[in-house]
Amino acid sequence: MLRVSLREISAALKEGRVTPTELCQRCLSFIKATKFLNAYITIAEETALKQAEESEERYRRGQILGDLDGIPVAVKDNFNTAGIETTCASNMLKGYIPPYNATVVQKLLDQGAVLLGKTNLDEFAMGSGSTDGIFGPVRNPWSYSRQYRDKCVQNSHPEKEDSNWLITGGSSGGSAAAVSSFTCFAALGSDTGGSTRNPAAHCGIVGLKPTYGLISRHGLIPLVNSMDVPGILTRCVDDAAIVLGVLAGHDPKDSTTVQDPFKSFELTCFTDASKLCIGIPKEYHAPGLSSETLALWSKAADLFENAGAKVIEVSLPHTRYSIVCYHVLCTSEVASNMARFDGLEYGHRSSMDKSTEVMYAATRREGFNDVVRGRILSGNYFLLKQNYENYFIKAQKVRRLIAKDFVNVFHSGIDVLLTPTTLSDTIPYVEFIKEDNRTRSAQDDIFTQAANMAGLPAITVPTALSEKGLPVGLQFIGRAFQEQQLLTVAKWFEKQVKFPMIQLQGIMDHGHTVSHHQKSAFFS
Amino acid sequence: MAASILRRCWGSLLAQRCRTGDVPVLHNGQTWRRAQASGSIASGRRAGNSPAGERGVAPWVAVVGLEIHAQISSNSKLFSGSQVQFAAPPNSLVSFFDASLPGTLPALNRRCVEAAVMTGLALNCRINKKSLFDRKHYFYADLPAGYQITQQRLPVAVNGSLSYSLCVGGKKNQMVTRTVRIKQIQLEQDSGKSLHDDTRSQTLIDLNRAGVGLMEVVMEPDMSSGEEAAAAVRELQLILQTLGSSQAIMAEGQLRVDANVSVHHPGEAYGVRTEVKNINSARFLARAIDYEIQRQIKELENGQTVMNETRAFDYKHGCTIPMRDKEGKQDYRFMPEPNLPPLILYDTKSLPANMNHQQVVNIDWIRERLPDLPSVKRVKLVEQYGILPEHSVALLNEDGLMEFFQNVVRQTQMNPKKVIGWILNDMLCYLKQHNLTVKESPVSSLLLADLLNLLERGAISSSAAKQVFEELWKGEGKTPLQIVKEKKLELIQDQQEFEQICQAVMEGHQEEVMEIKKGNRKVLNKLIGLVQRTTRGRADPVLVKQILEKRLSQ
C-alpha cells in the first residue's frame, strides 16, 4: 500500500480502500521502523493524526479539499512549521518553535495534506551529503536494498557490511530518504545548488527544482535568497506535477514570486517526439564523471534520438566558472543571512554575557558548526569594501554570463537540456567524510548549481542502477516557467527507462527493529 | 547614511569633556560669511596650521552638510504590515519580519514609496524610474536582522535643491534666500530602540520602531552656519508637513539630523570634517553646529588638528563630545537585497496598459496632485494680501497660523496689512507666552475678526481693542461686543462729554498747555495720552487731537 504513487493513493482514499487515519498510522509506524535511517528530525505524530482525522471527516462528508487530502507528506526541517520545532539541524535553532507556517507548508495543509514530520539535512542546508547536521547523517535506504546488498555480497567484505552504509546526498537527504523508503508520498526539500536533485538522484526518486519565482520562499529559512527554491521530491514525475500545481503561484509575502497566475496541469503522454529538440551541453563532460554515468547519459540521448527527437550538442561556455562563482555568491549571502542569529530574539543564546558583543560571539561560536562559520567568514571577506568589486561584483557578472549561456541555447531552438545529475552513484559514508564539506559541495553541485544561477527549472529522473546496484539519475533543464514542457519530457523518459523499485523486503530487518508483522504488511 | 544608533557610555564622558566655560565666543564677525573676498586674505595658509599669533587675521569659513532622517507618515512599516505609532507599549507593534524571525521576507509598502516620490518632486529631484535596495550590515542589539535595508547604490530620488529664507543683518530685518543642493533621497528602515540600564548593566530592546520607513535626505555641504542649517531644516520640515509625507515632529524623533561640519580658510581645500549625530531638537540644531564650528576653529588655532570622528551633541552642556565607537571604522559590507526586485516607477508615458494601477506608482499622477509648497504659499500671501515677505515666512512657520490669518481676513473689513500686525504681534506673542499652538488658541478666528470689526468701525479704540483681546484670551466665552459693553470700552460718541473731558485735562495740566502754546507741539501727544487714560481708551485719538488743537488755539 505505501509503495504506490501519490496519484494512486489519492485514488485509493477517494474510493475508500484506505482511510486517512489508517494511512497516517501506517506511515508513522513505518517511520519508527526505519528510524535508523535518521531521515526525520521531528515526528509530528499528534498533529499528523489529528490532521488525518479531520481529513477522514471530510472524506466522510464528501467535502475533500483537493488531491492531497489525507496524503502523508514530510517537510525538510528548514521550512517553518507553526507549532512544530524547526531546527535547520543546527544548535542555533534547536528547540525553536516557529509561530507561523511557510507558505508552501500552508498550501499543503490547505489541500488537506497530513504533515508527518520534519526531515533531516545538513546544518542550514549547507552540504551535499546530509552528513553535517547536529542530528547526525542520514542513511540512504538503498544501503539496505536487495539490489545493493546482493552486489556487496558478491564483492565480499560481509564483515564490513554494516559500516558500509551509503550517504543520501544532500542537503535534502532526509526528505529523499523519507520518500525513497516509502514513509511518505511526497516531501519538500529546498534547492539552492542542487540540494533537492542531488539526494533525489542518489535515492532513486524524482527531484524537481522549479523556476525561481514560481514558488514562494516565504518561511523557507534561507541559504542563498537569490537561488533558493522549494524543491519537490516524489516517486514519479506525475506526483511532482501534482505537488507543483499545489505550491506554485504568486505570494504577496515573497516579492520575488511572479504575478502571472499559474495554471496547474496534468501531464499528457506525448507520442510524437519528432518535434522535440534535446540539447547535450558538451561542457558537462566534466572530469570526475563516472564512465557508468557517462554511458547512461549517452544511452539516454540515443533513446530520444531513436524516438525521432533532434539531439544536438550545445555549448554553455561559462560552465567552468560556475562553481567558483556560486561559491562567492553563496557565501556572501550566507554571511548576510546568518547575521540575524545573534541569540537575542530567538534560538540559542550563550550563557557568556559579559557584554553584548561577547554574547554575540559566544552564541554564534556555539550555535553554528564549522561549515556554517567557514561560509560566514569567507562571505564577509568577499563583501569587504576592498574585495567587493573583485569578488562579489565579478561573480555577479559571471552569473549573468552563465544565465545568458542558457538563454542563447534555448533561443537556438533547444527545448530541454539533458545532463547528468551527479558525477556517479552514491558512496559509503566512510568514503564521503574523507573530504571536507567544501570540497564535496564543489564536486557534487557541479551539474546542478548552474540551473540555480540561471533560475531555471530542472528535474532529476531515476534512470538505472549502477554496477553496484545503486540508482543513477539524469537531469533535464528546461526554459524558465516551462515546467509543463520539462515535466512532459521527464515523464516520457521515466516511462522508457522503467527504473526498478527499491527492494527493501527481507533486508530491512537485518540488525534493525522492523518487526516481521509490519514488514510483511508494507512490502508485500 | 547610518541609522541613528544610540551608543553607550556618553554619560561618563560628559563630565570630563564639557566645562561650562568652554563655549567659545565668535572671534570675528566674518566667521559666518562664505568666502566673500576669496584669496584676498589668508592666501597660502593651510587650514590647521594657522599660528595662534595671527589669530583674527585669517577668517575661517565653515562648511556644513546635513543628513536628515525623516520618518515616513504611514499606517504601516516600510516592509511589514505592523502599525506605526508613537509611544505605544514596548514591543507591541512588532511583526515576525520586524523581529527578523527566520524565513520572513520584506514586502515593500507602496505608501512609503509614494511619500518618497512626493518629497523628491517637492525638492526638485530627479526621480529614478529604477532604484535598488541594499543591505547594510552591522551588529547592534536593536537591529535584529544584523543589517538595515537601505538604498546605497541607486536611491529613489537624486539631484534636487531646496531654497530657504533667513533673516540677516544686524537687526535681523533683511530676508535673504539661499539654496542647498539635495544629493539624494533614499528609502530605508529605522532601527529599534535600546534602553541601557547601567545600574543593572542590562540593555532593553523595543522593536516598535524597527522597520518603520525612513526617507534619508542628503544635503550637500552648501551651508556655512548653524543658522543656515536650521533654516534649511525648518523649510524641509514645512515641506514634509505640507506634503504629509512625514509629520516631521522633531520631539517625537520623526526628524533626526546629522551634520557634517568642517572649517577652512577661503580659497583653500576643505578641512577635515566631523559628523555631529542625533541632533533631535530644532532648538539645538543651530547651537550644536555653531559649537562644533567654534570648537574646530579653536583646535586649529591652537595648533591642534581636527579628527575625522563622530560626535554627539550634549544638549545639557551645549557642547559636542566624541562618541565612543569601539569597532573603529566600520565596514558595512553592503550587498544587494536579494529579496526585493528593483523598484520600478512609471510615468504616464511608460505606464504599461495592462498593469494593475493599484500596484504601480505613477510619478506624473503624484506630481499633478502635489499641494502648494510653502514657497508658493508665501508668494501667494504676499501677492494676495500685500503683506511683507517676512510676514509670509512668519505665517507659515507656525502650524495653522496662515489659515487662521486667512479666516480672520475673510471675516473682517479690516485691511489685511493691518490684520497681519494683530496676528503676528498680539496673537503669536500670546501663543508663545503660553506655549500654545494655533489650534489651542482660546481666541478663535471668528472672535478676533469680530473684535477687529469693532475697531475698524470706530466703535472702540485700538488700545481698547487690546484690552478686549486680553479678556478674550481668558476664554470665558464672551463675545468682543459683550466685553466692550461690560467694560464700557466704546468710544465716547457724545461731543459734549468729550469737550468736557478735554477741558478738564487741560485745566489740570496748565504747564503742558503753556509749553504747547510756546510752540512745543510734542507735548500735545502727552495731553492726548492723558485724555486716553482718563477715558480708559474710550476716546478716538483723532477726535481728541482735533478737540485739543481747537481748544489750544482758542
Query: Is A171 among the catalytic positions?
Result: yes
For A184-188, A306-310, B10-14, B401-405, which range has the lowest pLDDT when averaged over its residues? B10-14
Question: What's the mean pLDDT when you consider all of chain A?
Answer: 93
Residue A99 in contact with residue A85, Cβ under 8 Å? no
Closest by Cα among A403, A388, A379, A286 to A327: A379
In a domain, A357, yes or no: no
In a domain, A215, yes or no: yes
Report CB contact under 8 Å: A255, B96: no
Distance CA A300, CA A288 (A): 19
Give me the pLDDT at residue B39, please.
33
Give me the pLDDT at residue A110, please.
97
In a domain, B180, yes or no: yes
pLDDT in tens, A443-489: 888 999 999 999 999 999 999 999 999 999 999 999 999 999 999 99
- Per-residue pLDDT, averaged over A186-201, amounts to 98
Q: What is the CATH number of the domain that holds B530?
A: 1.10.10
| Same domain membership, residue B249 and residue B181 | yes
Q: How many CB pairs under 8 A join A and B?
A: 100
Distance CA A134, CA A77 (A): 12
Cell of B430: 500670546
How does DSSP classify residue A473?
E
Q: Half-sphere exposure (CA, 13 Å, Cβ side) for B443?
A: 28
| Same domain membership, residue B200 and residue B79 | yes
Distance CA B186, CA B153 (A): 10
Give me the pLDDT at residue B52, please.
41
Give the residue ranges of DSSP H helices in A412-448: 429-432, 437-444
pLDDT in tens, B379-430: 999 999 999 998 999 999 888 999 999 999 999 999 999 999 999 999 999 9
Name the residue range of residue A466's domain. 6-317+404-523
Distance CA B31, CA B523 (A): 47
Give the number of domains in chain A: 1
- Chain B hits for A254, Cβ within 8 Å: 105, 107, 339
Amino acid at A23: L
Instruction: Give the residue from chain B lying closest to A81, CA to CA.
Output: B103
Q: With the C-alpha atoms ordered A89, A92, A93, A95, is the resulting torsion angle positive or negative?
A: positive
| Same domain membership, residue B252 and residue B188 | yes
Amino acid at A140: N
Give me the pLDDT at residue A509, please.
52
In a domain, A240, yes or no: yes
Name the residue range of residue B525's domain. 495-552
Distance CA A491, CA A471 (A): 17
Q: β-strands A72-76, A114-119: how paired?
A: parallel
- Tell which wins on pLDDT, B292 or A152: B292
Helix (H, G, I), strand (E, B) or coil at B96: coil
Distance CA A336, CA A346 (A): 17
| Same domain membership, residue B443 and residue B302 | no
In a domain, B45, yes or no: no
pLDDT at A514 over 50: no
Residue B231 in contact with residue B180, Cβ under 8 Å? no
Q: Is the peptide bond before A171 cis (omega within 30 degrees of 0)?
A: yes
Task: Report how many helices (DSSP H) and strands (DSSP E) chain A contains, helices first.
Answer: 19, 11
For A28-42, A413-427, B37-51, B518-532, which range has the lowest pLDDT when averaged over its residues? B37-51
| Same domain membership, residue B311 and residue B243 | yes
Give me the pLDDT at residue A520, please.
29
Confidence of residue A523 (pLDDT cuts 50, 70, 90): very low
Give me the pLDDT at residue A383, please.
98
Strand partners, A428: A166
pLDDT at B3 over 60: no
Give me the pLDDT at residue B49, please.
41
Closest by Cα among A216, A209, A166 to B107: A216
Give the number of domains in chain B: 3
In a domain, B190, yes or no: yes
| Same domain membership, residue B158 and residue B175 | yes
What are the Cα distances from residue A23, in Å, to A58, A201, A473? 15, 27, 29
pLDDT in tens, B199-222: 888 889 999 999 999 999 999 999
Q: Which of B351-360, B387-396, B497-506 shows the highest mean pLDDT?
A: B387-396
Confidence of residue B44 (pLDDT cuts 50, 70, 90): very low
* Interaxial angle between packed helices B374-385 and B401-410, expressed in degrees from 0 to 180 and rounded to the nearest 10: 20
Of A218, A341, A360, the CB nearest to B103: A218
In a domain, B17, yes or no: no
Q: What number of residues does chain A have?
A: 524
Query: Is A195 among the catalytic positions?
Result: yes
In a domain, A398, yes or no: no
- Tell which wins on pLDDT, A47 or A260: A47
- Per-residue pLDDT, averaged over A202-225, amounts to 98
pLDDT in tens, B247-271: 999 989 999 999 999 999 999 999 9
Report CB contact under 8 Å: B205, A344: yes
In a domain, B216, yes or no: yes
pLDDT at A420 over 50: yes
pLDDT at B105 over 90: yes
Cell of A233: 521530491
Q: What percent of chain A has pLDDT over 90?
A: 86
Residue A366's φ and ψ, nearest 5 degrees, are -80, -30
Helix (H, G, I), strand (E, B) or coil at B234: helix
Query: Which of B201, B335, B357, B359 is the best residue to mutate to test the A interface, defined by the most A CB atoms within 10 Å of its own CB?
Result: B335
Report CB contact under 8 Å: A255, B105: yes
| Same domain membership, residue B392 and residue B297 | no
In a domain, B220, yes or no: yes
Instruction: Give the residue from chain A lying closest to B100, CA to CA.
Output: A340
| Same domain membership, residue B479 and residue B515 | no
- Chain B hits for A213, Cβ within 8 Å: none
Alpha carbon of B104: minimum distance to chain A alpha carbons (Å): 6
Q: Which of B467, B486, B505 is the last residue of a domain?
A: B486
- Neighbour-count burial of B551, counting CB atoms closer than 10 A to its CB (0-12 exposed, 13-18 middle, 19+ buried): middle
- Tell which wins on pLDDT, A312 or A508: A312
Confidence of residue B325 (pLDDT cuts 50, 70, 90): low
| Same domain membership, residue B137 and residue B185 | yes
Distance CA B516, CA B523 (A): 6
In a domain, A241, yes or no: yes
In a domain, B139, yes or no: yes
pLDDT at A506 over 90: no
Distance CA B440, CA B399 (A): 11
- Chain B hits for A360, Cβ within 8 Å: 139
Report CB contact under 8 Å: A345, B105: no
Give me the pLDDT at residue B5, please.
35
| Same domain membership, residue B290 and residue B315 | yes
pLDDT at B498 over 90: no
Give me the pLDDT at residue A513, please.
39
Report CB contact under 8 Å: A356, B141: yes
Give me the pLDDT at residue A179, please.
98
**Around Cβ B225, how many Cβ atoms within 10 Å?**
19
Confidence of residue A159 (pLDDT cuts 50, 70, 90): low
Give me the pLDDT at residue A47, please.
97
Strand partners, A142: none
Query: Which of A259, A383, A384 is the best residue to mutate to test the B interface, defined by the most B CB atoms within 10 Å of its own CB?
Result: A383
In a domain, A437, yes or no: yes
Question: What's the mean pLDDT when you consider all of chain B?
Answer: 86
| Same domain membership, residue B163 and residue B122 | yes
| Same domain membership, residue B506 and residue B434 | no
Max Cα-Cα span within chain B: 100
Query: Is A76 among the catalytic positions?
Result: yes
Instruction: Give the residue from chain B lying closest to A354, CA to CA.
Output: B201
Residue B92 in contact with residue B208, Cβ under 8 Å? yes
In a domain, A381, yes or no: no
Give me the pLDDT at residue B4, please.
35
In a domain, A453, yes or no: yes
